[in-house]
Amino acid sequence: MRALFDVTVTEHPYRAVVAVSGELDVGTCPFVTEATDALSLRGQTLILELSGATFMDSTGLAMLLQLRERARHEDGRLEVCGIDEPVKRVLERTGAFPLFTTVPSL
């Protein structure tokens, strides 16, 4: 049985918070991409809140890297917060962890 998945967007002045719960994989990452694509990152901070993420595969990693590049290209900022073991493990094993600005929680 597949875990429940949810993505929630909350916009504030100068920042948006995208909270993800469930598995980040080939079946769910398109929903996160759709949600983030709808946001302007120009001069904004995008906070990707992942404390509810229960799993992340290479598709999730690719999505994070693409989002990081998009934020850089649009003069925005990406912060990843609430990184628990499932996500941290992938970021550390691939050497990608230092590429992201991380904060413990909101």
- Which pTM value belongs to this model? 0.92
The two structure tokens encoding residue 26: 């080939």
Provide the pLDDT for residue 97: 96
The enclosing H or E element of 62 equals helix 58-73
Judge whether 62 lies within some domain. Answer: yes
CATH code of the domain covering residue 74 = 3.30.750.24
Judge whether 2 lies within some domain. Answer: no
Per-residue pLDDT of 25-64, as tens digits, reads: 999 999 999 999 999 999 999 999 999 999 999 999 999 9
Percent of the chain exceeding pLDDT 90 equals 92
Judge whether 13 lies within some domain. Answer: no
The number of domains in the chain is 1
44 vs 90: CA distance, rounded Å: 27
Judge whether 8 lies within some domain. Answer: no
Provide the domain limits for residue 60: 18-103
